[in-house]
Homo-oligomer: A and B are copies of this chain.
Amino acid sequence: MRVVLIGAGNVAHHLGSVIIRNGHRVIQVYNRTQSSAKKLSSILSCDFTTKVPEIDRTGELYIIALKDDAISEFIKSLTFSPKLIVHTSGSCSIDVFPKELNGGVLYPLQTFSKANKRTPSVIPFCIEARDRKSLSVIRKFSRSLSDMVYEKTSEEREKIHLCAVIVNNFTNHLFTLSEKILSSEQTAFDILRPLIMETALKVQDGKPSMMQTGPARRGDSKIIKEHLALLNKYPGIKKIYKTISDSIASEYDVKL
């Protein structure tokens, strides 16, 4: 397909690479800031523009990869009706598109960051459209990029996005807090990496609810008390430790 990319951030970057790698063409990158538009367009070997009226009108699919609060503004600024236009947000409703536009959603359920150049090898997509024909185009396109394509409503997608925040952002913060505790006693974060890897690997074929271990799971109040005492100088971490331990105990009907 002939694709126009709106945006030049992390999502546009990684998605753009996946798109051309799977035999499609990105014909143009639009971005307000020239430097990043130029940079991405050179990577994808295509044109770029920083002006909405100059966006190429011959595209078959326009992909908005902008921050949530910029999506609506961009749509309002459009000076023509694209054949098919989708956004890539987990939390933005399909209703951000006015009815007269042929709008849809192509949400990549993955984490993309500047700090990490490697594009994830598997990207699940949640897709949505208003009519069967558009849905079929988005479905075919996303299936050409990934084996994991899910048709989800905006309400369902919002819950999935919430879960993505929990398993990605919150998990990474727990890693960060551990990094902090370790560095206070000159232990490198390295020591935890194999355990982190294994924790993720274990739920690749199993259910996490079947994998739960640890002091809260087995009701080991003695260890929990000792850990809370170690955390006295980290009140924020202490609160998280207590809140999650209580949640584990209540989930498995364990008394602490």
Known: A123-B194, A172-B203, A200-B200. 9 other contacts (CB 8 A): A109-B192, A115-B202, A159-B182, A165-B214, A166-B174, A167-B192, A177-B247, A179-B207, A189-B207
Contact flags (1/0) for A184-212 with B, using CB distance below 8 Å?
A: 01010111111111111111101111111
Question: A116-B206, A195-B111, A208-B172 are contacts. A185–B158 as well, Cβ < 8 Å?
Answer: no
Q: Which residues of B are found within 8 Å of A244, using beta-carbon distances?
A: 170, 173-174, 240
Q: Which residues of B are found within 8 Å of A177, using beta-carbon distances?
A: 166, 247
Contact flags (1/0) for A66-102 with B, using CB distance below 8 Å?
A: 0011000000000000000000000100000000000
Are A163 and B185 within 8 A (Cβ)?
A: no
Question: A168-B214, A191-B150, A223-B68 are contacts. A176–B111 as well, Cβ < 8 Å?
Answer: no
Q: Which residues of B are found within 8 Å of A248, using beta-carbon distances?
A: 169, 173
Are A167 and B194 within 8 A (Cβ)?
A: no
Question: A111-B213, A172-B211, A208-B175 are contacts. A181–B199 as well, Cβ < 8 Å?
Answer: no
Report, as a range, how many residues of chain A touch the other chain.
35 or more
Question: A65: shortest Cβ distance to chain B, in Å?
Answer: 15
Q: Which residues of B are found within 8 Å of A58, using beta-carbon distances?
A: none
Are A148 and B194 within 8 A (Cβ)?
A: yes
- In the assembled complex, 23 residue pairs joining A and B whose CB atoms fall closer than 8 Å, in A order, are A69-B222, A91-B226, A109-B194, A115-B202, A118-B201, A120-B194, A120-B201, A123-B194, A156-B187, A159-B185, A164-B195, A166-B241, A168-B198, A169-B217, A170-B241, A172-B208, A172-B211, A172-B213, A173-B247, A200-B200, A236-B246, A236-B250, A240-B244
